[in-house]
Chain A
Amino acid sequence: MNEPLLTIRGLVATVSTAFGRARAVEGVDLDLDRGGALALVGESGSGKTLTALSITNLAPAGVAYTGSVRFEGVEMLTLAERELERRRGRAIGTVFQDTGAALDPLRRVAEQIAEPAVHHLGLDPAVARQRALLALERLAVPDPARAARAFPHELSGGMRQRATLALALSCSPRLLVLDEPTSALDPSSAAAVLSLVRDLRAESGLALLLVTHDLGLVAAHADRVAVMYAGRVVEEGPARALLERPAHPYTLGLLRSLPARVARGAKLGAIPGAPPPLDARPSGCAFRTRCPMARARCEERPPLEPAGDDRRSACWFAREVPAP
């Protein structure tokens, strides 16, 4: 099958603000292959989370999508709620940043992890609970039997995140969407969650969409990266090539901001300013007001165009971007 698992074309997300309607996502094109792992990297307000939510058409109130989101050949943006419901939690598993929100505070953890398998796959509840226990064990939850009997508030943030992941994986989905899976976790919990996902991908051909602000994570956990800024993809390509030789000055700036890359106390390559608010995005290239390479031409918006091997960049001067 040559069609990608997921194809997003011309995605626009319009949101209501105090100043009227504004386009938070302004025309995003993305592909994700079966079994592939795509990292969607961006800062707050970049549109990365709204892009991820479009896949299951779970827009928050006040957000409207246009464009096309095809999952396994089916258009998700116009699909009937009943059909969407069938895919959420079954073909597509999702874990959001807020570890508590997906779990019902009044029900035991194992029961909740088991429920989608009973509901979608018709498993016997006792069998489903047994599978839930095994899933917790695989996620390196200490004393999994006890965690299975626990209520969510009795678990630490890291353990709740693992339970949420077990829930998202309970029906063996083809796509797992992880939205900022690690920002609320300490590194040990984050490593456990992400290495389990990596093992599962190797075994089962699970595809991953990893939404993150942390460029440090993507080399180890994604094979492709799309960098978003102010509602658009500004650069996209194979993870390693993109990190070694960015083709957009914003990606370069993010890489140079990481303390891990420089000697102790040495200057970081901080990007000046802050990401623009939704109602004040610069015209033309939205990054030009913070960009050290900006020139007159940047007042005209650069399209996302091929920039060498299997890569795309939305910068007029993509070939002049220096190594990090």
Chain B
Amino acid sequence: MNSSDPILLAHDLVVEHRRAATFGRGEPAVRALDGVSLEVRRGEVLAIVGESGAGKSTLVRALLALERPRSGTVAWSPAPERSPVDVRTLTARELRAARPRFQVVFQDPLASLDPRWTARATLNEAFGAGGHPNGEAAGVELLERVGLAREHLGRLPHEMSGGQRQRLCLARALATRPDLIALDEPVAALDASVQAQVLELLVDLRRERGLAYVLVTHDLALVAWLADRVAVLDRGRIVEQGDAREVLSAPQHATTRALLQARRELVDTVPGTTSTPSPPRSR
């Protein structure tokens, strides 16, 4: 299996959300995803962009098999070195074994950490039943890898800063040795000076572990900086998908152009900032 092999596939995915019935009237279901097909290859960063309500978060949930599609398939590579298979054909045991390899980190670390759990408890739970065979050393090693230290093991979420909490969420995601981490606006809730630190950590971790990311963000500059490919979502459909450099410099679809235009209006004349994200150069 080489680096261009897909580790996650979606084919013609349709997800519908039933609206709450009001006074006994069943409302028609809303189509949150409408025929989405994509793939994520080993070690690649796929960005998903689109306006609020376009279906970005639903897509992430569906890709992680946290949402049952009405039709279509999600396929995971169930173990390293194996081609993706439809998650619905996996046995419960196989799904349990595969799940830790597809992780997610959300925008608000405070909302995704248990307020009563120390970092030690959070990591132990991630290591799985019985903790890690190396015990505490494994936890400390992970904390140090994300820029925290042994002293943070005993801390509760509210005893850490926003940046430290997000680092802990990353450490928790890394604990299961994932192949892919879905990052849902991973730095949007962090202070400006701390955002850059977490972004650099994401780049370093990817390089050293061959991680793939599915990056959900509003920030097209971040897409240009981090992503290999980008999928533009509009009302549940992918309207444009391709090489990040090409899509951002020569958008083909009106939705993509509107997103780029909105960005220009927001940040037009920052000196040294190109209003269209600069065509990414290769590393």
Q: Could you tell me if A244 and B224 are in contact, using CB atoms closer than 8 angstroms?
A: no
Q: Could you tell me if B262 and A214 are in contact, using CB atoms closer than 8 angstroms?
A: no
Give the size category of A's interface with B.
35 or more
Contact A156/B52 with A265-B203, A265-B225, A270-B193 known, Cβ cut-off 8 Å: yes
Q: Could you tell me if B273 and A257 are in contact, using CB atoms closer than 8 angstroms?
A: no
B3 on interface, CB distance cutoff 8 Å: no
CA distance A243 to B162 in the complex (A): 26
> What distance in Å separates the Cβ of B268 from its nearest Cβ neighbour in chain A?
4
Q: Could you tell me if B225 and A213 are in contact, using CB atoms closer than 8 angstroms?
A: no
Interfacial chain B residues near A189, Cβ < 8 Å: 52
Interfacial chain B residues near A220, Cβ < 8 Å: 265-270
> What distance in Å separates the Cβ of B154 from its nearest Cβ neighbour in chain A?
18
Q: Describe B's contact surface by its main secondary structure.
A: helix
Q: Could you tell me if B191 and A43 are in contact, using CB atoms closer than 8 angstroms?
A: yes
CA distance A173 to B79 in the complex (A): 62
Among B162, B194, B197, B281, contact of A263 (Cβ-Cβ < 8 Å):
B281
CA distance A290 to B280 in the complex (A): 30
Contact A265/B280 with A187-B262, A274-B194 known, Cβ cut-off 8 Å: yes
Q: Which residue of B lies closest to A260 (CB)?
A: B221
From 172 to 227 in chain B, residues with beta carbon under 8 angstroms from any chain A beta carbon are 188, 191-197, 199-200, 203, 218-222, 224-226
B252 on interface, CB distance cutoff 8 Å: no
Q: Which residue of A lies closest to B268 (CB)?
A: A220
> What distance in Å separates the Cβ of B108 from its nearest Cβ neighbour in chain A?
12
CA distance A89 to B164 in the complex (A): 39
A78 on interface, CB distance cutoff 8 Å: no
A194 on interface, CB distance cutoff 8 Å: yes
Q: Which residue of A lies closest to B227 (CB)?
A: A264
Among A182, A185, A215, contact of B192 (Cβ-Cβ < 8 Å):
A215
From 244 to 274 in chain A, residues with beta carbon under 8 angstroms from any chain B beta carbon are 244, 253-272, 274
Among B193, B269, B281, contact of A275 (Cβ-Cβ < 8 Å):
B193
Which residues of chain B have a CB within 8 Å of any CB of chain A? 51-53, 161-164, 188, 191-197, 199-200, 203, 218-222, 224-226, 245, 258-259, 261-263, 265-274, 277-278, 280-283
Q: Taking A190-B266, A254-B192, A259-B221 as given, write out 18 further A-B residue pairs in contact, using a Cβ cutoff of 8 Å, ordered by the A residue number.
A: A183-B188, A187-B218, A187-B266, A188-B258, A191-B266, A213-B191, A216-B273, A220-B265, A220-B268, A243-B270, A243-B271, A264-B278, A265-B225, A265-B283, A267-B200, A274-B164, A275-B193, A324-B271
List 29 interface pairs A-B (beta carbons < 8 Å), by A numbering: A43-B191, A43-B193, A186-B51, A186-B52, A188-B258, A188-B259, A191-B266, A195-B265, A214-B192, A215-B270, A219-B270, A219-B271, A220-B265, A244-B271, A253-B193, A255-B272, A257-B193, A259-B225, A260-B273, A261-B273, A264-B224, A264-B226, A264-B283, A265-B225, A265-B226, A270-B199, A270-B200, A274-B194, A324-B272
